[in-house]
Structure 1
């Protein structure tokens, strides 16, 4: 989601399925037909893995958006559920040689593995002859060439380019509105302010609907849990941004990599969860909970707050509204470490120039790569992006005084059916590439990214009233007033060769941090935490982590020079 996102909830309100297309089971016809004319093309069915245990829609042509794609290209995606860690699955597929036709690859290290193994097809000829792709991603193509030693292009990425008007990956913390009201809408920001607030709230409400009230819930059992979101308070100020779940963070002010574990804000982040634990405010099951298990807890309003997974908020609030418990709904709030608040730091709004976490490639197992890329090419056009993110004109949006506005049909469906987006086909084709930016008409491709549109009908009345009571103009008010655009540049695309000495050390650094995290959180006192922390740091320093940090900075410098050559 970087960390991140595993579910990749990028454009607000748009369902993003974490998918990867499976090889086999595809019926392909003649390649090279004119896009938009499927009359002479046989049906091309591509099986696609979905992280959803029971997908709402099995085939893309069961949806209105999918039917448009089928009519134009005679291509259908079929969702096949999978379970387990996605990166593990990627490694297993690579080892077995069973390469999917089109594949989402998570992070640059695995991108490099797939390219080195010969699993990915070079896209240069397709791009050179493209109608839209080359112009749409002109600035990004140079960055996307970076993982390959031969300088060829083997991938594209989802959710780039990005801009602050349409994209805010502000995955902080969500709090129940009833307890905010009970305490007079306190201005929460520092970790200490949250501890005090939650202690008072759980004392006042020890049970919720007959169940024990939980303080804070978090999906630490996910691959991006302990590895990514536990230490991530380091990114909530204006000095650092997250670039993945590796051993480094990026100093945006000085444009250099620094050690993650040794960062003082990382320590404050882990200390926050230790304080929650000491006060009985951290759900003990957070250590073993996956995202879906956390989702079930917050759908009942049992937790006073949930951490990081802000993409769940709208669905959860709609569920609570229908269940007759609007008082248990949640609002998203910012959180910073105590030091950040004392220093008056702003909040970096990380805008990824590159997003290797969501890298997409066509593999050598593709039955008809040219036909696949024709669809990719068209999706990158204005017409394709508007279909992908705004839907079908007349059904999902209409033009009023030259502007796109959501139809009553869309609003009604979104409000009344939590599965509406999936049933319409939103998110089904995101693997083909989508932009978290504005269209040529000046509006976001996804109208739900417009904060006024989003708030108008995605916020329930109690949630909207809560923001108003807090003095917010809209649900993103604090971020717009305190946020600073922070483009990542090449930082999130730099990766050390995992087989190199530095790469092996980097893996040990991450493994030690993850392995030590639960014990640190479970420290019974501040003194015990400090003793445990020093023991971890002693082990950590023995790995000589600085050589890894130095290597990252060396690679960044080299890659900046390479990109300059590509652009020239």
Structure 2
């Protein structure tokens, strides 16, 4: 009997120990799920954009992030901006941990996203410090003040590079004696004169003006030039009246017709690239890199590859300067018209996220001053040095930054990780009084080629931005950027907008390529087709969205 009792006692002790071990394991699992930063975790991200520089967190910066946080990102990039894949996610009801979207309307209505407000309040001191009162701009609506999308825009940005302009080769303006380039007529004269002097460049036919119109780029460069050349700022497909907040599909402004009529004239005179509307992005970039394109028009980010390739090839004279060209001198460039903190596009944490606390802490880490410095400057001792208490980029490293087109991928510096959080813009200083980004006025001047300095001096400025009206000359836009206002899934506005865009992409190029005597007829057809597709209803709905946002932000 005693032996039997001993056996039962042993069984009880073993069971108790097993139970205690199981409980301990369970507690550890719970701790990990609730944001224990000691373990490692992989967070999946759907990114509604492409990123050819993604380095799989194997770069020096990427490895340091993993070391500091234990977090590895596993992104899926999408060339379509999420237009197809996000609806498929909603249909399946399955989501990655985080989604970087261009407006989260569909996701919010599907109840796929969690409210970030309490997470930010409790776990994100760096994000709170960075955004301050501007957090108010992230509220979803008057009816629902939750924060579903954390903006990934630059904060308090004073960009060294204007975001839009006409780009003209240094060799062109130098040979022509640095002519004034202020209007479309000025630009046309410069292109025509130089092309007549040099019908070929390095044995290839000279191209006067080429445009990047591949996929979404037709809007960013060619179509957007309609409002950029007539005193508008970038609000996507709509022009917003700053007084009334009325939204108008910008092509319907009569003055813009003259901009596209100018393209028609350039085409008729053989000054516009005959392949403008059929070439792919890579073909366009290759043409820039060949040195035979005298000018182009568009945003700065579409110029990076071409400019880098020219510099790497030692063809600095064929690189481009940036000019604030408008239709005529009645208009000025609004490239520096501030949106204030942009809200609508950014990163969200989904209801399926395996660890929301860990996710927000990771994002907050990226927003910290120390990390922001790393994401801009790199690793101390490897990509920059401290000299007399100041961050300094060695000359050899500066050469790599300027001339190696794969620099961002090799180092992890830049938009690889900045794209996932709000980040300090150019001109913002850290706690030591130094700028957080490398894009200071001093660095920008140091990065210039000799011929660029020569051209700028001839125009009596130090930077291309000095040719443009300054940010302080414009009031901050009360509605932010209209293009990143989320459209409710229940609205038919998205369908109406797509129909209008389909008509635009067909008929505006057709108007440009037709003979000048047919331009008015096709433009009239364009306007009629927009009306048939109920564009007035779209304008009314968009106007209401603008006014609702202004009211929300003012409360």
TM over 0.5, yes or no? yes
Q: What is residue 223 of structure 1 aligned with on the other side?
A: 216
Pair 1:308 & 2:285 matched: no
Pair 1:59 & 2:50 matched: no
Q: 1:519 to 1:85 in 2, by over 3 A?
A: farther
Alignment of 1:371-520 (within 5 A): 371-408=358-395, 410-426=397-413, 427-433=415-421, 434-437=423-426, 438-441=428-431, 442-448=433-439, 450-457=440-447, 459-479=448-468, 484-491=473-480, 492=482, 493-497=484-488, 499-500=490-491, 504-520=495-511
Conserved in 1, the CA contact under 8 Å of 2:41 and 2:71? Answer: yes
Q: Secondary structure at the residue paired with 1:351?
A: coil
* Candidates 135, 144, 168, aligned match of 2:129: 135
Q: What is residue 5 of structure 2 aligned with on the other side?
A: none
CA RMSD of aligned residues (A): 3.1
Alignment of 1:505-544 (within 5 A): 505-525=496-516, 527-543=517-533
Conserved in 2, the CA contact under 8 Å of 1:347 and 1:483? Answer: no
Conserved in 2, the CA contact under 8 Å of 1:158 and 1:435? Answer: no
Q: 1:431 to 1:346 in 2, by over 3 A?
A: closer
State which drifts further: 317-326 or 513-522: 317-326
Conserved in 2, the CA contact under 8 Å of 1:226 and 1:517? Answer: no
Conserved in 1, the CA contact under 8 Å of 2:141 and 2:552? Answer: no
Gaps of 5+ in 1: 1-26
Q: What is residue 328 of structure 1 aligned with on the other side?
A: 318
- Tell me by how many angstroms 1:323 deviates: 2.4
Q: 1:171 to 1:231 in 2, by over 3 A?
A: closer
- The 1-side partners of 2:283 and 2:441 are apart by 29
* Candidates 227, 236, 241, aligned match of 1:244: 236
Q: 1:476 to 1:362 in 2, by over 3 A?
A: same
Pair 1:105 & 2:101 matched: yes
> Which whole-Å deviations, capped at 9, do the CAs of 1:8-44 have from their partners, x for residues lacking one?
xxxxxxxxxxxxxxxxxxx99924556xxx5x31242
Alignment of 1:173-192 (within 5 A): 173-192=166-185
Q: 1:243 to 1:377 in 2, by over 3 A?
A: same
State which drifts further: 393-402 or 422-431: 393-402
State which drifts further: 325-334 or 498-507: 498-507
> Which whole-Å deviations, capped at 9, do the CAs of 1:113-161 have from their partners, x for residues lacking one?
1111122222122112022222322333222222695321111111232
- The 2-side partners of 1:316 and 1:399 are apart by 32
Q: 1:425 to 1:385 in 2, by over 3 A?
A: same
- Tell me by how many angstroms 1:187 deviates: 0.9
Q: 1:354 to 1:344 in 2, by over 3 A?
A: closer
TM-score (normalised: structure 1): 0.82
- The 2-side partners of 1:133 and 1:140 are apart by 11
State which drifts further: 267-276 or 80-89: 80-89
- The 2-side partners of 1:68 and 1:465 are apart by 40
Q: 1:228 to 1:90 in 2, by over 3 A?
A: farther
- The 2-side partners of 1:219 and 1:95 are apart by 35
Q: What is residue 366 of structure 1 aligned with on the other side?
A: 353
Pair 1:153 & 2:150 matched: no
Q: 1:319 to 1:191 in 2, by over 3 A?
A: same
Q: 1:90 to 1:436 in 2, by over 3 A?
A: farther
> Which whole-Å deviations, capped at 9, do the CAs of 1:29-64 have from their partners, x for residues lacking one?
924556xxx5x31242646769668x455421x212
Q: 1:336 to 1:102 in 2, by over 3 A?
A: same
- Tell me by how many angstroms 1:504 deviates: 4.3
- The 1-side partners of 2:168 and 2:474 are apart by 25
- The 2-side partners of 1:297 and 1:228 are apart by 16
Conserved in 2, the CA contact under 8 Å of 1:29 and 1:41? Answer: no
TM-score (normalised: structure 2): 0.84
- Tell me by how many angstroms 1:517 deviates: 1.6
Conserved in 2, the CA contact under 8 Å of 1:144 and 1:153? Answer: yes
Alignment of 1:275-314 (within 5 A): 275-313=265-303
- The 1-side partners of 2:381 and 2:117 are apart by 37
- Tell me by how many angstroms 1:373 deviates: 1.0
- The structure having more radius of gyration, on CA atoms, is 2
Q: 1:214 to 1:265 in 2, by over 3 A?
A: same
Number of equivalent positions: 520
Conserved in 2, the CA contact under 8 Å of 1:169 and 1:350? Answer: no
Conserved in 2, the CA contact under 8 Å of 1:299 and 1:316? Answer: yes
Q: Secondary structure at the residue paired with 2:179?
A: coil
Conserved in 1, the CA contact under 8 Å of 2:163 and 2:335? Answer: no
Q: Secondary structure at the residue paired with 1:439?
A: coil
State which drifts further: 139-148 or 493-502: 493-502
Q: Secondary structure at the residue paired with 2:473?
A: strand
Q: 1:504 to 1:320 in 2, by over 3 A?
A: closer
- The 1-side partners of 2:544 and 2:345 are apart by 24
- The 2-side partners of 1:541 and 1:70 are apart by 53
- The 1-side partners of 2:259 and 2:489 are apart by 27
- The 1-side partners of 2:130 and 2:372 are apart by 11
- The 1-side partners of 2:183 and 2:193 are apart by 16
Pair 1:562 & 2:552 matched: yes
Conserved in 1, the CA contact under 8 Å of 2:156 and 2:341? Answer: no
Q: Secondary structure at the residue paired with 1:286?
A: coil
